[in-house]
A and B are shown apart, each in its own frame.
Chain A
Amino acid sequence: MENSLGSAPSLLEVRGISKSFGTVRALQEVDFTLRAGEIHALLGENGAGKSTLIKVVTGVFPRDAGVVRLAGEEVAPRSAKSALQAGIATVYQEVNLLPNLSVAQNLFLDRQPMRFGIVREGEMRRRAKALLTGFGLDIDVAAPLGNYSVAIQHVTAIARAVDLSARVLILDEPTASLDRHEVEILFGIMRQLARRGIGIVFVSHFLDQVYEISDRITVLRNGRLVGERETASLPRLELIRMMLGRELAETTSARAAAGEHRARGVCASFENYGKAGYVAPFNLELRHGEVVGLAGLLGSGRTETARLVFGAERADGGQARVEGAPVRLQSPRDGVRHGFGYCPEERKTEGIVAELSVRENIALALQAKRGLYRPLSRREQDEIARRYIKMLDIRPPDPERPVGLLSGGNQQKVLLARWLATSPRLLVLDEPTRGIDVGAHAEIIRLIRDLCDDGLSLLVISSELDEIVTYSDRVVVLRDRAHVEELAGGAIDVGNILAAIAADGAAVALEAHT
């Protein structure tokens, strides 16, 4: 924000880009301009066309119409590699490097310094070291990349891209899995690169970060350009309006009075439930129509609790009850049979079956529950798919589209639909809003509330404490793989949750949240 951008020459000019997948128009005559030395945020809801635009510009997808000019010259990369050669580098959310190779090997992959046909390991390490030092990173470059945090992997990917003489750097959700401190490091590097004249495209759904780092914002909606603004002169409300095309329903209205659910019956309960080396024995009671939030740092035992409750992991002690009756939860099948559902955090690897259609993905859990011999007819499947596509506003509304082609938020909705179709009594949601942008975010939170009003119990894990506070009737706080505190009613606020998490001196990483 410190440099005057009005006069900066445009580095990357995208004009009139269109792209269709079958009958779905993913991009329609989109323009985008990136100036040298600026950090330009590319924003939009799920399915707005951000990823498609990036993939079209970098040649991963062929484009139907439009031109891309880099420093005034027309470029038409036909693959990510040729885009890189032209000077456009992309670093994706899931870093596309090789975790089993060393940091140095990753940096110099494909272009190792050679002598007599043999890789000069020493030379490569020296140069890798020097390169990373320039990014303020002092690490052992001979160690496998996978040993390092996602943040360092990101920086490595960026360093590699920049060293390959990238003039345009596209960062797709780079901060999604970073903690506050790591985000600061990344931002420092981004500012440094911008000062060197590199143009940076920053895709993120963290609006705070967008305001902190970007000079300019371009917003897409439903495959069309909504507008380009200077960050400093764009009020947040206006930005959200641009992204959603409607007023965002307020996300912080009061939840149902905490006492109300006390009167209702217990849906499921867990006594002394736990597994050695996984999560310490805990007591947990879930009432009908109640949302229980699980809060804690990454690795505190939140996901582990969720998996035990659902039956994805076997407990080695304790007693689970459903509607008061003792049950054994040995497998996901048991969980499903007792009316539980589980949306895992790892959507792609544990949630969707990418190749199958939206319809089949939605029908899957219900079919598994009904068993082999009571198949859902095609008509029933169509009807279920139609109902949930409408109810959850899944886009594009095509039940036959392979679910792998949908955006992250819509995939999440498909998973929700899969479980809702089984009419569950308890849904376990692990980070339901992760990687989903602000519009779908609010929608999913609204959905969570509606579901509870219908009597469904929810166990929700989220790193977003504001979110947990918004929808939870009770919050269980975890630390070091144990349940350490339970907050209810008026005691639920971000400060109290933080205090419970931090009680053991773990406060350092969290100060930024407060």
Chain B
Amino acid sequence: MTALLPRRGLAQILALIVILAVDRVVSPQFFDLRLQDGRLFGSLIDVLNRGTPVALLSLGMVLVIATRGIDLSVGAVMAISGAIAASLADSHGLPVVLAEALGAGLVCGLWNGFLVAVLGMQPIVATLILMVAGRGIAQLITEGRIVTFTSPDLVWLGNGAILGVPVPVAIALGMLILTGAVVRGSALGLLIEATGGNARASELAGVGTRAMILSVYVWCGVCAALAGVIAAADIMGADANNAGLWLELDAILAVVIGGTSLFGGRFSLVLAVLGALIIQTMNTGILLSGYPPEFNLLVKAVVVLAVLLLQSPKLSGFAGVMARLRRTKP
């Protein structure tokens, strides 16, 4: 399981530390934690909690991007699964609600994977279809209204705590470990990286590249559906128009900040999740600082630029030192 640990995450970890330090300056209570009603509270916990949807999305997205693909539909899939979960929550038990919502994500992923792997469509176009259609489907499910629910089980999923840790955070952590175990514990990781690095060569080496591509879109759909359920549980309702809106872009951003190239190949699950946390730490910091949230977008862009500059091979200085460190490691 050592493969789960970041081999090259110094830039990301430094970025996170810098942003945390800035947050500490704008909000002196940033690192304060307190336990209330069996659940931890504080800005740090807030970062983790709010960061969960994008972290979950990035877990699927990083695999898709590793195969040289992209999935623009994850925001819409969140809306669909949220709508399903909210509609069923008061009439069915949690297992049924989860099965239906995640099943919908699985079907969405199969659809995307079918278009890309079997029909050979370009991923950006193929997933654009569901990005547009998905929101319509979600609105059909909610019949254009905001569906609210009171089911304590589902509410617990968004607001409860396990040993003081908010449930969404525990779920995201669990999914990270599960995905890591599946991907690095089997040969999937190597075969995905090979497929993304050179699909033709991989196929000639006997790799089932279609199955690889199909499976990453399916997993991406499931992760998105889970994020949608958690987002709905958090606000105790489903808003088909706004649930997960633009989050696909945050997820792509998280993956890129995590150092996975949009050209496919090498990927890191841990760093993608770290990327999601970097984004959320910024969001929270700006909210706490009292600046209008519009700044958020600008600051985000600047930080992204900074991280990418650090990773750029053309920048000799810092990046060069890192590369050399990495290379000399046995």
Instruction: With a 10 A CB-CB cut-off, give which of A344, A375, A418 has the most chain B CB atoms.
Output: A375
State A312–B200 Cα separation when bound (angstroms). Answer: 10
A-side contacts of B123, CB under 8 Å: none
Q: Are A332 and B205 in contact (CB under 8 A)?
A: yes
State A363–B194 Cα separation when bound (angstroms). Answer: 11
Q: Are B328 and A418 in contact (CB under 8 A)?
A: no
The interface size bin for chain B is 20 to 34
* Interchain CB contact (< 8 A) of A355 among B3, B187, B197: B197
A371 interface residue per 8 A CB criterion: yes
B208 interface residue per 8 A CB criterion: yes
| Known contacts A332-B205, A364-B194, A364-B205, A355 near B186 by CB under 8 Å | no
Question: Chain A 317-340, CB within 8 Å of chain B: the 1/0 string?
Answer: 000000000000001110111000
B206 interface residue per 8 A CB criterion: yes
Q: Are B198 and A375 in contact (CB under 8 A)?
A: no
Question: Chain B 189-207, CB within 8 Å of chain A: the 1/0 string?
Answer: 0110110011011111111
| Known contacts A354-B197, A355-B266, A332 near B190 by CB under 8 Å | no
State A360–B205 Cα separation when bound (angstroms). Answer: 12
Interchain Cβ contacts within 8 Å, total number: 87
| Known contacts A355-B197, A372-B186, A373-B186, A23 near B191 by CB under 8 Å | no
A144 interface residue per 8 A CB criterion: no
Interface residues of B in 81-98 (CB under 8 A from A): none
B60 interface residue per 8 A CB criterion: no
B-side contacts of A352, CB under 8 Å: 198, 201
Q: Are B191 and A367 in contact (CB under 8 A)?
A: yes
State A363–B205 Cα separation when bound (angstroms). Answer: 10
* Interchain CB contact (< 8 A) of B327 among A23, A312, A354, A373: A23
B324 interface residue per 8 A CB criterion: yes
* Interchain CB contact (< 8 A) of A344 among B193, B204, B324, B327: B204
Q: Are B204 and A312 in contact (CB under 8 A)?
A: yes
Instruction: With a 10 A CB-CB cut-off, give which of B187, B202, B204 has the most chain A CB atoms.
Output: B204
Closest Cβ–Cβ distance, residue B68 to chain A (whole Å) = 11
Question: Chain B 256-268, CB within 8 Å of chain A: the 1/0 string?
Answer: 0000000001100
A2 interface residue per 8 A CB criterion: no
| Known contacts A349-B201, A355-B266, A375-B187, A360 near B193 by CB under 8 Å | yes
B185 interface residue per 8 A CB criterion: yes
Q: Are B191 and A369 in contact (CB under 8 A)?
A: no
Q: Are A360 and B190 in contact (CB under 8 A)?
A: yes
* Interchain CB contact (< 8 A) of A350 among B186, B201, B324: B201
A-side contacts of B204, CB under 8 Å: 310, 312, 332, 342, 344, 350-351
B188 interface residue per 8 A CB criterion: yes
State A354–B198 Cα separation when bound (angstroms). Answer: 8
B-side contacts of A369, CB under 8 Å: 206
A374 interface residue per 8 A CB criterion: yes
Q: Are B191 and A372 in contact (CB under 8 A)?
A: yes
A-side contacts of B201, CB under 8 Å: 349-353
A22 interface residue per 8 A CB criterion: yes
A356 interface residue per 8 A CB criterion: yes
Closest Cβ–Cβ distance, residue B138 to chain A (whole Å) = 33
Interface residues of B in 243-271 (CB under 8 A from A): 265-266
| Known contacts A23-B328, A371-B187, A375-B187, A336 near B194 by CB under 8 Å | no
Q: Are B206 and A333 in contact (CB under 8 A)?
A: yes
Q: Are B203 and A367 in contact (CB under 8 A)?
A: no
Count residues of chain A with CB under 8 A from any CB of chain B: 36
* Interchain CB contact (< 8 A) of B202 among A353, A370, A372: A353
Closest Cβ–Cβ distance, residue B197 to chain A (whole Å) = 4
B-side contacts of A375, CB under 8 Å: 185-187, 190
State A23–B324 Cα separation when bound (angstroms). Answer: 9
A365 interface residue per 8 A CB criterion: yes
Closest B residue by C-beta to A62: B316
Interface residues of B in 288-330 (CB under 8 A from A): 324, 327-328
A442 interface residue per 8 A CB criterion: no
B-side contacts of A374, CB under 8 Å: 187
A-side contacts of B194, CB under 8 Å: 353, 356, 360, 364
Closest Cβ–Cβ distance, residue A350 to chain B (whole Å) = 5
B-side contacts of A356, CB under 8 Å: 193-194, 197, 265-266
Closest A residue by C-beta to B199: A353
A-side contacts of B328, CB under 8 Å: 22-23
Closest B residue by C-beta to A374: B187
State A310–B186 Cα separation when bound (angstroms). Answer: 27
Q: Are B198 and A365 in contact (CB under 8 A)?
A: no
State A378–B190 Cα separation when bound (angstroms). Answer: 11
A-side contacts of B3, CB under 8 Å: 378
A368 interface residue per 8 A CB criterion: yes
Closest A residue by C-beta to B185: A375
State A335–B203 Cα separation when bound (angstroms). Answer: 11
Closest Cβ–Cβ distance, residue B311 to chain A (whole Å) = 15
Q: Are B208 and A350 in contact (CB under 8 A)?
A: no
Q: Are A418 and B205 in contact (CB under 8 A)?
A: yes
A376 interface residue per 8 A CB criterion: yes
A-side contacts of B207, CB under 8 Å: 333, 364, 368
State A23–B188 Cα separation when bound (angstroms). Answer: 31
State A418–B202 Cα separation when bound (angstroms). Answer: 11
State A235–B78 Cα separation when bound (angstroms). Answer: 74
Question: Chain A 284-327, CB within 8 Å of chain B: the 1/0 string?
Answer: 00000000000000000000000000101000000000000000
Q: Are A349 and B206 in contact (CB under 8 A)?
A: no
Q: Are A336 and B187 in contact (CB under 8 A)?
A: no
State A367–B189 Cα separation when bound (angstroms). Answer: 11
Write 30 A-B pairs (CB below 8 A) sorted by A numbering. Answer: A22-B327, A331-B203, A332-B206, A333-B206, A333-B207, A337-B206, A342-B204, A349-B198, A349-B200, A350-B204, A353-B194, A353-B202, A354-B197, A355-B193, A355-B197, A356-B193, A360-B193, A364-B194, A364-B205, A365-B205, A365-B206, A367-B191, A368-B206, A368-B207, A368-B208, A372-B186, A374-B187, A375-B186, A378-B3, A418-B205
| Nearest 10 CB-CB pairings of A with B | A336-B206, A368-B206, A22-B327, A353-B197, A375-B187, A365-B205, A353-B198, A355-B265, A368-B207, A355-B197
Interface residues of A, Cβ cutoff 8 Å to B: 22-23, 310, 312, 331-333, 335-337, 342, 344, 349-356, 360, 363-365, 367-376, 378, 418
Interface residues of B, Cβ cutoff 8 Å to A: 3, 185-188, 190-191, 193-194, 197-198, 200-208, 265-266, 324, 327-328
**Given A332-B206, A364-B194, A376-B187, 9 other A-B contacts at CB below 8 A?**
A332-B203, A332-B204, A336-B205, A337-B206, A350-B200, A355-B266, A360-B194, A364-B207, A371-B187
